[in-house]
Amino acid sequence: MPDGMETERKTSSDPASATSRYAGRKIHLIGVAGAGMRALARMLLDYGASVSGSDMSASGTLDRLVADGAKIGVGQKPENIPPDCELVVFSVAIHPQNPELVAARERGLEVVKYSEMLGRLMGERTGVAVSGTHGKSTTTAMVAYVLTTAGMDPSYVVGATVEQLGGPSGVGAGRHFVAEACEFDRSFLNLHPHYAAVLNIEEDHLDCYQDLEAIIEAFRAFVARVDPAGVVVANGEDRNVAQAVRGAPCEVQTFGLAEGCTWRGVNLASENGRYRCDVLLGGQEFCRLQSPLPGLHNLYNSLAATALLHLAGVSAAKISRLLGGFSGTHRRMTLKAQNDGVTVLDDYAHHPTEIQATLRALRECYQPRRLVCVFQPHQHSRTRFLLKDFSRSFAQADEVIVPDIYFVRDSARERDYISSQDLVSQIRLCGGAAIYLKTFEDITEHLEQSLQPGDLVVTMGAGNIWEVADEIVRWLGNNR
């Protein structure tokens, strides 16, 4: 599936009861093709808003929004904003001098960030927000999927397409609104959830945070915004999370495998990389949990989801049964093809910890003869700040192929500080086998010449590296 592809969106079985104060409002979205923005656009359409929007280039995402009833412009210019527009929403990727953003303010229109709009919509329901450096999309999708299949008809916004739910967002008549709470640009401080999860906290987004302490402080501020009558579900094995939830204004429940966790997994076992355990709640048997996805990290995600689902009113029996049927989100260890003994996958991992966890899970699950990772670094600043961590994160790969860094958000000057060749050199110093191949064409040519039966190749990164996976899948279908 090409990046961003979505199936038919899910709406409430009784749309009339899924009300919002934004029904009938005329809303324009700048940067509408972004993961969160397109989910927001579809949600507003389902609420009955008149939606327009724009993005820099044509795409299948824009075509689908048009088919859903949005009026979309390609390229960004003031005339894209309808004359009767009442509200303009813009993504964090939009520059302050964007012509549409400037025009909206000159016209005196109400202008808000994506995260603020998300907070407004969450405020109309019982908010369930999932935060953390890693695992937000998967855990959010788990909660939305189980609530939906349990008949509780939630509204939700996930930062990735969930095929089982028909897309990245849905509007339901139920009382819950489930959403990712992203720490970038402190966006999650626009949310006021009733229930929240803090999955983990690590260094990331150092282009907008000074250091780890500043990141922990932002999570502490997020926790402070949780309803005093609500609950925070926190990783009980993460010291940074412990700092963030200390002094929380509401109840804190911890999850993990260690003694003392409110939600504790015991009797751990695994088969082909898929973990299972018995879940204890306050030391008492709660349910048997089979993580639906490979990797120990996904068992932790499943424990957090279990806690949130229990708080939302789902029975232990239903959580155990329904969570096992979850099949994952787009670009999270997504199997693209298995042809003539070669396995092709695609993944969104773009942080060292995510890379380590994903490669370990893939090796456990598929047990390949050779594991080849095509990693596209995302942002020059992230690569520079976390270079040492990146260099140690590919231990499970037999070969690492690195194209040029995906340029986004950084200044042009940042390119001078770091390159993909620097990362390749550091991987080699750590004992890894790594090569730099500048273009996607170079990479596909190399793979076509080197892949053998029993090999697994995974494309990895937050940019457009999925195109390499798609090309290899086409090549395998045509030539093997």
Rounded CA-CA distance 212/218 in Å is: 10
Residue 329 lies in a domain: no
Rounded CA-CA distance 105/99 in Å is: 10
Q: What is the CATH number of the domain that holds 247?
A: 3.40.1190.10
**Are both 108 and 154 inside the same structural domain?**
no
**Are both 108 and 185 inside the same structural domain?**
no
Looking up tokens 């192929």 gives 401
Structure tokens at 159: 């930062």
Question: Which of these three, 112, 145, 171, is where a domain ends?
Answer: 112
Rounded CA-CA distance 289/267 in Å is: 11
Query: Domain count of the chain?
Result: 3
**Are both 366 and 467 inside the same structural domain?**
yes
Residue 222 lies in a domain: yes
Q: What phi, psi does 284 have (nearest 5°)?
A: -110, 145
**Are both 28 and 163 inside the same structural domain?**
no
Q: Are strands 126-131 and 251-256 parallel, antiparallel or unpaired?
A: unpaired
**Are both 378 and 276 inside the same structural domain?**
no
If we measure between CA atoms, which residue out of 23, 16, 17, 18 comes closest to residue 86?
A: 23
- Residue 237 Rama label (left phi>0; alpha psi -120 to 50; beta): alpha
What pTM does this model have? Answer: 0.87
Is 68:61 a contact under the CB 8 Å cutoff? no
Residue 91 lies in a domain: yes
**Are both 348 and 462 inside the same structural domain?**
yes
Q: What is the CATH number of the domain that holds 377?
A: 3.90.190.20
* Residue numbers of the domain that contains 101: 21-112
Question: Which of these three, 323, 346, 379, is where a domain ends?
Answer: 323
What pLDDT is stored for residue 190 in this prediction? Answer: 93
**Are both 443 and 351 inside the same structural domain?**
yes
DSSP state of 246: T
Is 322:149 a contact under the CB 8 Å cutoff? yes
If we measure between CA atoms, which residue out of 75, 62, 71, 70 comes closest to residue 46?
A: 70
Rounded CA-CA distance 112/86 in Å is: 11
**Are both 354 and 418 inside the same structural domain?**
yes
The distance of Cα 363 from the centroid of its chain, to the nearest Å, equals: 22
Beta bridge partners of 169: 157
Residue 11 lies in a domain: no
3-state SS class at 87: strand
Question: Which of these three, 295, 323, 351, is where a domain ends?
Answer: 323
Other Cβ atoms closer than 10 A to 174: 21
CA distance readout (Å), 300 to 244, 264, 268, 275, 423: 18, 10, 12, 10, 30
Rounded CA-CA distance 347/451 in Å is: 19
Residue 386 lies in a domain: yes
Sign of CA dihedral 118, 120, 123, 124: negative
Residue 119 lies in a domain: no
Structure tokens at 406: 């995906």
Other Cβ atoms closer than 10 A to 389: 16
What pLDDT is stored for residue 59 in this prediction? Answer: 87
Rounded CA-CA distance 384/395 in Å is: 20
Looking up tokens 């390609």 gives 74
Residue 247 lies in a domain: yes
Structure tokens at 198: 């803090």
Structure tokens at 51: 């939606």
**Are both 418 and 457 inside the same structural domain?**
yes
Segments of 132-181 assigned E as strands: 155-162, 167-171, 176-180
**Are both 193 and 265 inside the same structural domain?**
yes
Residue 5 lies in a domain: no
The helix/strand count (H/E) of the chain reads as 15, 22
**Are both 74 and 131 inside the same structural domain?**
no
Per-residue pLDDT of the chain (480 residues), as tens digits, is 344 444 444 444 444 346 789 999 999 999 998 878 988 998 899 899 999 999 988 888 899 999 999 999 999 999 999 999 999 999 888 989 999 999 999 999 999 999 999 999 999 999 999 999 999 999 999 999 999 999 999 999 998 889 999 888 888 889 999 999 999 889 999 999 999 999 999 988 878 899 999 999 999 999 999 999 999 999 999 999 999 999 999 999 999 999 999 999 999 999 989 999 999 999 999 999 999 999 999 999 999 999 999 999 999 999 999 999 999 999 899 999 999 899 999 999 999 999 999 999 999 999 999 999 999 999 898 899 889 999 999 999 999 999 999 887 767 777 778 999 999 999 999 999 999 999 999 999 999 999 999 999 999 998 899 999 999 999 998 865
**Are both 445 and 470 inside the same structural domain?**
yes
Looking up tokens 């709470």 gives 181
Q: What is the CATH number of the domain that holds 34?
A: 3.40.50.720
What pLDDT is stored for residue 18 in this prediction? Answer: 61
